[in-house]
Chain A
């Protein structure tokens, strides 16, 4: 078998096709990116005298402050709150909060369950037994910068102790 035969043999194998879901996800992401781009293009820029040169330290500070603010806002949002198509208003049914058009925008927060450890039954008081559980999770915060589509992801592992009341029969 020479090289040409070998190459021909390898080419007879067709790489596996992607799932239908992947195409849908790409379609959704491209539509979202177009929305953000439109929002950034139609936003009114600050007057020149109000703009300061951005240093890396101030950029890092504002990214962190934006991230922290996004976490607080997302935790405070009621069910069904959404970002409007023009990208800058959180619609919560109450008085909305308007974000600056060029701010990093939150996309999602997910919490992934990693594991749970049963630490047994403990008696807090003689007549109050509780099952102690240690729950390990990872919270993942995702933001997008509408100016260039850059994505920021922060993962925070968490451990929580949970006490469940127990009744013996």
Chain B
């Protein structure tokens, strides 16, 4: 029974965290398949050191995803150079970052493009805050930055998103901004 409980524990934890971890890993990896490899390595390592999935250690899991993603990206750069030299072409197109309702595909593309247009450090903080559900302190722990730096990057990110999405406010169905005094 204990083995079954442990088996169910990791599966529950993984089902909850995997989509968020994949979104985070895709900040750096070239493809969704690479992001899955990263999440696989990071989650297995994290669960081995943290059986039971203590929520206090979730920032360390994101830190592991970050570290492994950056290593994979270095390896991808080297492999791309080899493949370019051998005239092998890479497959085009990849899995979307989000699973939207079918009727909302255009809005999803608008928002996705807006988020992808952010500088990498701001996009990282937005991903962890909005979809990872982490606090500023937890994001600071995962990224190795100070809480103040994380907070200011998040503010800049929101400002940039407002600017990029302003022409599409009506399409997104957002309420107009309140008038300032």
Residues of chain A touching chain B, judged by Cβ–Cβ distance below 8 Å, are 1-3, 5-7, 9-19, 21-23, 25-27, 29-30, 33, 37, 114-117, 136, 138, 149, 151, 155, 157
Partner of B43, one of A5, A17, A26, A149: A26
Interface check B65, CB cutoff 8 A:
no
Main secondary structure, interface of B, reads helix
Closest to B126 in A: A10
With a cutoff of 8 Å between Cβ atoms, the chain A residues found around residue B44 in the complex are 26, 29-30, 33, 149
CA distance A56 to B159 in the complex (A): 49
Q: Which of B82-110 contact A (CB under 8 A)?
A: 82-83, 85-88, 95-100, 104, 108
Asked if B45 and A18 sit within 8 Å, CB to CB, the answer is no
Interface check B153, CB cutoff 8 A:
no
With a cutoff of 8 Å between Cβ atoms, the chain A residues found around residue B144 in the complex are none
Size of chain B's interface in residues, with CB distance under 8 A? 53
Task: Give the contact stretch, choosing among B34-42, B54-62, B134-142.
Answer: B34-42
| 12 A-B residue pairs with CB within 8 Å | A1-B175, A2-B178, A6-B174, A10-B115, A14-B99, A15-B23, A15-B97, A16-B97, A17-B19, A23-B18, A115-B87, A136-B86
Closest to A29 in B: B44
Asked if A151 and B41 sit within 8 Å, CB to CB, the answer is yes
Asked if B22 and A149 sit within 8 Å, CB to CB, the answer is no
Asked if A1 and B169 sit within 8 Å, CB to CB, the answer is yes
Partner of B165, one of A6, A12, A23, A33: A6
CA distance A18 to B33 in the complex (A): 10
With a cutoff of 8 Å between Cβ atoms, the chain A residues found around residue B95 in the complex are 16
Interface residues as binary, B155-177 with A (CB distance below 8 Å gives 1, 0 otherwise): 00010011001100100101111
